[in-house]
Structure 1
C-alpha cells in the first residue's frame, strides 16, 4: 500500500466497493496519517492525540465537502457511506483504547 500511496495512487488502495463513494481529500488525510504512524523510528511517529485529531479532521472534511458540493440526496448517500466507515466498531474501540478511562 505504501508504494501505491507514495505514487499518489489511492484507487489501488481503497476498497473497490467504495469507488466513487468516498471523499478523496479525507482519504488522503487518513492515508498520510497512517504512513506517518509507520515511520521506522518511533520518534518520527505522531503521538496518539495527533492521530485522533487528524482522523477527526478527516471526518469533518468528509462531511463538510459532501454537504456543500452535492445535492441533498447524493450528499445523504455519501454521508451515510462516510459515517458507516468511520463508525466502524473497531475504529471506536481503537479510539477508546488510546483514551483510557480514569481509575
Structure 2
C-alpha cells in the first residue's frame, strides 16, 4: 500500500483551493451583482415581457383545458385512494374471528 505524506496532501489541497475559483466562471466577464444601466434595462425588459406573457396565457383556452384535466386527475386519484382505504377497512369473516 502506498503511504502519502500529510504534507503532500496539505500542499495539494491548498493548491486546489487557490486555483479552483479561477477556473470556475459561469458567466465569463459578467459580474452577477453588477447594477449597470444595461443590466437594469435588460431586467426591466424581462420583467415587463414576462408579466405580459403570463397575462396572455393565463386565460387562454389551452390553459383552461389544462386546469380542467388537472382537476379531473386529482379527483380520480382521490376517489381511488378512498376506495382503496374502504377496501382495507372492510371487515371480512377471517379478520373478525
Q: TM-score, normalised by structure 2?
A: 0.27
Structure 1 or 2: larger helix share?
A: 2
Q: TM-score, normalised by structure 1?
A: 0.25
Q: Per chain length, whose mean CA-contact separation is higher, i.e. which structure has more relative contact order (CA < 8 Å, sep 6+)?
A: 1
